[in-house]
Structure 1
Amino acid sequence: MPQQAPRTVVITGASGGIGRATARRLAARGDRLALIARGDAGLAATAEDVTRAGGTALPIKADVGDHREVGAAAAQAEAELGPIDVWINNAFTSVFAPFTRIDPVEFQRITEVTYLGYVYGTRAALDRMLPRGHGTIVQVGSALAYRGIPLQSAYCGAKHAIQGFTEALRCELLHEHSRVRVTMVQMPAVNTPQFGWVRSRLTRHAQPVPPIFQPEVAARAIEYAADHPQRREYWVGGSTVATLIANAVAPGVLDRYLARTGYAAQQTDQPHDPRTPGNLWKPADDEADHGAHGVFDQRAHRRTPQLWASQHHVLVTLGATALAGAAAALARRRA
């Protein structure tokens, strides 16, 4: 790939997990990065990573659940780094628990951060990109934007909402013949610190549903999406496509399968204190940096052929036809 000019990029949720890995990857290109997160220690460590990798870092402490803080962060990014070329919405929070054990104020907070944080970030980016007729917005989505699973009702609801919001916005941008682009990257299970950060009322430690991928896989997909935003979405990890197809082919069967297996699949054998507050109201990395990876390094994959396939749309279409029958048969056999 030919050397590209440095860009001004904003990343929300930049201090850990996917955001942290993406910041490192884009820094290696020499990009100017506005890093938005809540934790002081995590932000400082991410800024050091960016500088060490060859990028320019501007750490900004802000809560994406507050549109005023998001707007102020966008203004600061442009004032200190220049016009925003790419905005990556990634920040989220959640609670692992059955719906009836999530308090209404907790559900509201999750929605404000995980869904409205994307809305506020998108609006802040568009306010600056539309007058210039240039810019890219990348929404970090999830397979759970298409398929809800037990114990994650608030998170699934937010990801579904982001999907619908983004589809509507894309149509509006096309109607206006805008050159601003918006795309989504649908993630599989990723080995990030979130499974130790988020509030959980489970008695065992939360885990992503396998197969699990390293955050660097997600970062490669986000970088590619930012470079090729003409595609409406990219899928990362074969499980993402299999979930989508199974949900389309046999949704009722998949409901019963997840009802039987979804609880155990999201918990390890390690005990967990359900009174642990998590990062719902306060950042988990304010005093200590937790990096990009979670505790599942021994089980996480560093590559996925699905990312390559998603970058070549014809192959995805052909592959989807073959996967549809396999996914439906698997769901019926396990039901």
Structure 2
Amino acid sequence: MVKAEAEKGATTQTVLTSPEPGTVIHPVYSYTNEQQKMIEDLRKFTSTIALPPSDPYYPSEQRWLSRADTHPRYMRATKWNYADSEKRIKATMEWRRDFQPDLIPPDEVKIESETGKIILNGFDKDGRPILYMRPGRENTERSPRQVRHLVWWLERAKDLQPAGQESIVILVDYKSCTLRTNPSVSVASKVLHILQDHYPETLGRALITNLPFILNFFYKGISPFLDPVTRDKMRFNPNLLDLIDANQLDTDFGGSYNFEFEPHSYWDQIVKACGIAPDGSRVSTSTNTESDLSASLKALNLDTSSREPCLSSSSSDSGVESDSGPVTPITPRSVKNSMSGRKAPNGVETHILEDGTTI
């Protein structure tokens, strides 16, 4: 149950696509020299197995490989086991070539979003995008498209991460959910497999509210598919206002953000904010360049001189979150509107590392 409520604000259909002004992105970690070398070695490895420029998926793959967070996340996820990191990132590259999660056309999954069963809206106090899931609003029969719909939203959540933030919040509300509308264990296990294997270190928090007793068996059914790190991030019926500012939290959950879901307006806002073309490709909305990427890598003290040329990244997030591995947290100083590689949302704070590098 929600333990506290804020006064409701005026009704709005405006989607929140940036964190609160003054938000300090958290956490930020530094790496040892040995860890930095392992990350760079993994970059060199992926450059040897990357698609050739003649392949149609080459631009998308290079965009993903160019993200400053991609390789560090796989190293942390394997607790700095380099051999395992190679296997896992290779498997993800193969999966992305087949599934093409970043090229799913909006119209392919739009019907799944008509009831607002999954929406991306707002940020927690650490700057993580919030992905709301309401199984009680299920509007389609079980199919592979439901999985593609969720993956489409994972990609959009990555799009809206402010610079320095690598993880997201998933808030599951079981209000009005029944056995019929709840995802099957088989569908849930597929989603967990994708999230844990191909989006490692992406789940920052999983918040579950209004879980009816009758669905307890569902969590027992999926528990074998939950890795310990994912399980540790799950919280049942937390006080959401401890984690999310009231004006970023939907009034349904005790916040003051009185959002009225209108499917067409909402969909148009999200597609525009994320720069998605009708065919699923990206509309150029960023001024990122290879030099922007190099600046982000410099924040990690990574040598970029031996890297293969990459296309411009859709983001250059360089902050990290990890529940495993001997990475050292640092206490950032905050500055406004100086995010490297991406224009900062108005007033959102970023960090200066100990060496003076801004991320």
TM-score by length of 2: 0.28
Q: Give the number of the structure whose residues are more often helix, by fraction.
A: 1
Q: Give the number of the structure whose residues are more often strand, by fraction.
A: 1
TM-score by length of 1: 0.29
* Highest RCO, 1 vs 2 (Cα 8 Å, sep ≥ 6): 2
